[in-house]
Amino acid sequence: MEDLREHYSKETLNEKDLSSSPFTQFEKWFQNALDSRIKEPNAMILSTLGEKDIVDSRTVLLKGLEQEQFVFYTNYNSDKSKQLREHPNCSLLFLWLDLERQIRIQGKAEKLDASKSDEYFASRPRGSQLGAWVSDQSSRINSRDELEAKLKEVEQRFEGKEVSRPEHWGGFAVTPNHFEFWQGRPNRLHDRLVYEKEGSIWTIKRLQP
């Protein structure tokens, strides 16, 4: 592994090219990722603080950037949800290796309004809706067969009916207070530009690589 090397040289990141708003800058880079046809460009690593102050990380999907909040959906009984209720401070990480780019975000999470969760749930494929009822996320299960049996039971329960949103499933909205935009550069002298919120103003600074 020590011999693995990548030479980063595709783009640069200069202050003069940066938007004054980190949200506008994020949308610009996200559109670049979409245009580049990167697989799952909305995949982001969510890190939370768990029991005994152990940091826990997993990948979730960004489903909206609304009113300067990053929105994702999950099971409210999952480990991540329990951790966010206990410690709402969290971080998000977008890694787009094909573009030699990374965005780190720090912020505070809160449960999304139920009506917003209802609206998004109604837009999901039926299979995903049923899955939200089937999975007791993060809880132990004895076998895959048991999970498949639960699915059949739920399919029968909602046969010929619309699938309603379970109360234990919904969204979180993360309000950022810190962004770091990272662009790979030659010789490991990468560009790192940081936005930090001071009151209602976003300030920008460059960090050494």
Q: Which two tokens mark 46?
A: 């969510």
Provide the H-helix boundaries in 43-201: 79-86, 114-123, 126-134, 144-157
**DSSP one-letter code for 9:** -
Q: Which two tokens mark 173?
A: 């909205």
126 labelled catalytic: no
Residue 120 burial (C-beta neighbours within 10 Å; 0-12, 13-18, 19+) = middle
Under a CB-based contact definition with an 8 Å cutoff, are residues 165 and 117 in contact?
yes
Instruction: Choose, from 58, 85, 157, 188, the residue flagged as catalytic.
Output: 188
Which residues participate in catalysis according to the annotation? 188
